[in-house]
Chains A and B, each alone.
Chain A
Amino acid sequence: MSIQQIFNGLQWGSFYALIALGYSMVYSILMLFNFAHGDVFMVGAYIGLFVATAVLGIAASGLLPLPPAVTFVLVLVLTMFLTSFVGMAVERVAYRPLRDAPRASAAITGLMVGIFLETGNLALLGASRRTFPPLIETVTYTLGPITVTNIKILTIVLALLLMLALNLFIQKTKTGMAMRAMSVDYAAVPLMGVPMDRVIVLTFALGSALAGAAGVLFSMTYPVLEPYMGLLIGWKAFVAAILGGRGSILGAVLGGFILGFIEILVAALFVSTLRDLIAYSIVLLILTFRPYGLFGEEYSARLRI
């Protein structure tokens, strides 16, 4: 076990945490696991690819010479903005008509939307892998036994900053208060004059924007994009959301990092062949003792509608 592995775990956990937040936020309000979320992350990565190509093209053409840092921020912000519309569209098309339907129908619809996004991408862009262009030049720092790149540090720091910003938004703004209120009593809040649809749409938008950010950061570290890239990481982030506690924001973040750490540590300490088996047995064990997850409350698992 080395300090290097701690960095590896932090970076890997950042992706789980960012994606798990999207699951948890939607769940806390609608009691619905948005199973298309992993694929929203995939779409986010592709949007990031197109935005990056466009921005780099403009920068290279000399019309608007941009330093790499500005390019990166521009790509990140634009991608988050555009990906939030994907989430909003999914909500409008797939979930809103089913809001009063049984939850199982909505969950299955989510799976279908996911398949639609994957195969739609396959049909539009073909099955070839795409590379994500380097936005910032990779710099490797070596400190004794530890080797980290600037991108690794950037990923960890930005993920934490985004989570902090989300927390501020939920705790300090009026809309954030409405979200919290809806997670406690879905039925009563609209009676207080809170525009329910707007809060729900915003929840989807925020979750998807975070998935978009995860898409860009993920593609910078693992620059091979494919239509099914969101599948496995989406499922695992879902596990992280459950582990942290359904509907809990802090839980999603911690669940993500814990899952990332468990995966890395199991591979580091035991044989890597058994990584997933051991890692997910640990998750099962935790859930046996804490069935509502680490930070979940009993009411968050009870049907409120």
Chain B
Amino acid sequence: MKRLWWILGMVLLASLLLVGCQPGPRAAYGGVIKIGHVAPLTGDIPKVGEEGKFALEMWLEDLEKAGGLEVGGVTYRIEVIHEDNESKAESSAAAATKLIAEDKVLAIIGPYASKQAIPTGEVADRNKTPMISPWSTNPRTTKGRPFVFRAAFLDDFQGFVLAKFMQEEFGAQKIAILYDVASDYPKGLAEFVKQSAEELGMEVVAFESFTTKDRDFSAQLTKIINSDAEILFTPQYYDEVPLIVKQAHELGWTKPIVGSDSWGSPELMNLCGDDCVGSFFSTHWAVAGAKGAAKEFIDRFQSKYGYAPGDVAALAWDSAHLLQKAIQDCGKLTGNLEEDRQCIRDALANISEYEGITGKMRFNAEGDPVKCAIIVRINENYDFEFYKQVCP
């Protein structure tokens, strides 16, 4: 121990001397700030990874134009290292470990789905590296993990909003839920909606599940249709929603179908078409009806990549800017990875208000944002149209 202090003291002294030789403050890390990005670039939801990557590329483009990021009088170049997690929990944790230990990143953006964000958050927190998951909405991602943050609102809040919406909008008394029992996000949200619905005095008459990669839902949907449910709620991803909605209609379901933020991918309507028109889902982001900075972001993304950005891109963009603000709020980078990571974490926790494109937000003690949810309706032009806003 004594020896360690001795070495530490020498290193400190040496660095002081080195700093002393410089005319101004010296750039840490050779003037490059490395940020890790863990995303599903292949696997079940590659579009999610692609959108996140594009949003970060736009962010880097802005920084490049500005000549870099100024922190405490020193200008840094930001480098983003993209790691593919193949939409798998194991690969995601491994990618984060690599980024933290080998690439020595200051912070991580991602992963997106809760299935990967929950185990990856564990890795980031254990290694005291700040992580912002743009899209994960399961409480366990940030719970008891001071280094883990998120840009999306939580599943319990979303579950409450959805239950309230179904009751107020349709006067529903009986609802049916169909979800993937093997994936954290749908399972968590299905349970929260069930709980909130029951608290609001509604009855969940069918609570049916399936397993990831299933393509046939006829048995469950037949049960749902035979129950006297007035609404079908399904918190699935864009590759399953078209199959569920189409099969429900083919089996004779004509009542409303409601979804959650996982529906909000531009890819959804390419796969689903007319079957999804008229459905509702809760989300962080609506393209149709956007104003101000959000509109600017949408136009730029659209002209650059050829499609309108979904909530993933918007949340990745906000995550990157929250991180940028935290790094700047930090005031100065010491070059000591441990200290700088701690400093960025503290700065993130202390952001008092940030005006993002997905709305005004700040972090609560758990690292979860305090913000509003949006309900959108899928209209006849296949747009996700702003329907109403629900605040906590």
A-side residues, CB < 8 A to B, are: 2, 4-5, 8-9, 11-12, 122, 126-129, 131, 138, 140, 142, 145, 147, 149, 152, 218, 221-224, 226, 228-229, 231-233, 263-265, 267-268, 271-273, 275-276
* Beta-carbon contact of A272 and B270 below 8 Å: no
* Beta-carbon contact of A129 and B267 below 8 Å: yes
Of the candidates A8, A12, A145, A272, the one having the most CB atoms from chain B within 10 angstroms of its own CB is: A272
Kindly state the separation between the CA atoms of A273 and B191 in the bound complex, as whole angstroms. Answer: 13
* Beta-carbon contact of A2 and B226 below 8 Å: yes
Contacts of A223 in B (CB 8 A): 242-243, 246, 271
Report, nearest first, the 4 A-B pairs whose CB atoms are least far apart.
A127-B46, A147-B252, A8-B218, A267-B219
Kindly identify which residue among B46, B208, B226, B249 contacts A126, using a CB–CB cutoff of 8 Å: B46
Show 26 A/B contacts (Cβ-Cβ < 8 Å), sorted by A.
A2-B226, A4-B222, A4-B226, A5-B219, A5-B222, A8-B219, A12-B216, A12-B218, A131-B271, A131-B273, A140-B250, A140-B252, A145-B226, A222-B215, A223-B243, A226-B239, A228-B213, A232-B213, A267-B219, A267-B223, A268-B222, A268-B223, A272-B181, A272-B223, A273-B181, A275-B211
- Interface size band for B: 35 or more
- Provided the pairs A142-B252, A223-B246, A273-B209 are in contact, do residues A8 and B222 lie with their beta carbons within 8 angstroms? yes
Which residue from chain B places its CB closest to the CB of A265 in the assembled complex? Answer: B219
* Beta-carbon contact of A2 and B222 below 8 Å: yes
- Tell whether B293 is near chain A: CB-to-CB under 8 Å: no
Contacts of B219 in A (CB 8 A): 5, 8-9, 263-265, 267-268, 272, 275
Which residue from chain B places its CB closest to the CB of A130 in the assembled complex? Answer: B271
Kindly identify which residue among A4, A218, A222, A224 contacts B251, using a CB–CB cutoff of 8 Å: A4
- Tell whether B171 is near chain A: CB-to-CB under 8 Å: no
Contacts of B271 in A (CB 8 A): 129, 131, 223-224
A14 to chain B, nearest CB (A): 11
Within 8 A of A (CB), among B179-200: 181
- Tell whether B220 is near chain A: CB-to-CB under 8 Å: yes
Kindly state the separation between the CA atoms of A147 and B250 in the bound complex, as whole angstroms. Answer: 7
* Beta-carbon contact of B267 and A128 below 8 Å: yes
Which residue from chain A places its CB closest to the CB of B206 in the assembled complex? Answer: A272
- Provided the pairs A11-B218, A268-B219, A272-B220 are in contact, do residues A128 and B47 lie with their beta carbons within 8 angstroms? yes
* Beta-carbon contact of B243 and A222 below 8 Å: yes
- Tell whether B43 is near chain A: CB-to-CB under 8 Å: yes
Contacts of A229 in B (CB 8 A): 215
Kindly state the separation between the CA atoms of A265 and B223 in the bound complex, as whole angstroms. Answer: 11
Contacts of A5 in B (CB 8 A): 218-219, 222
* Beta-carbon contact of B242 and A147 below 8 Å: no
Contacts of A12 in B (CB 8 A): 216, 218
* Beta-carbon contact of A127 and B243 below 8 Å: no
Which residue from chain B places its CB closest to the CB of A15 in the assembled complex? Answer: B216
A224 to chain B, nearest CB (A): 6
- Tell whether B210 is near chain A: CB-to-CB under 8 Å: yes
- Tell whether B127 is near chain A: CB-to-CB under 8 Å: no
Which residue from chain A places its CB closest to the CB of B240 in the assembled complex? Answer: A224
- Tell whether B91 is near chain A: CB-to-CB under 8 Å: no
Kindly state the separation between the CA atoms of A152 and B208 in the bound complex, as whole angstroms. Answer: 23
Contacts of B223 in A (CB 8 A): 267-268, 272
A236 to chain B, nearest CB (A): 11
- Provided the pairs A224-B271, A226-B239 are in contact, do residues A138 and B250 lie with their beta carbons within 8 angstroms? yes
Contacts of B209 in A (CB 8 A): 271-273
Kindly state the separation between the CA atoms of A267 and B209 in the bound complex, as whole angstroms. Answer: 9
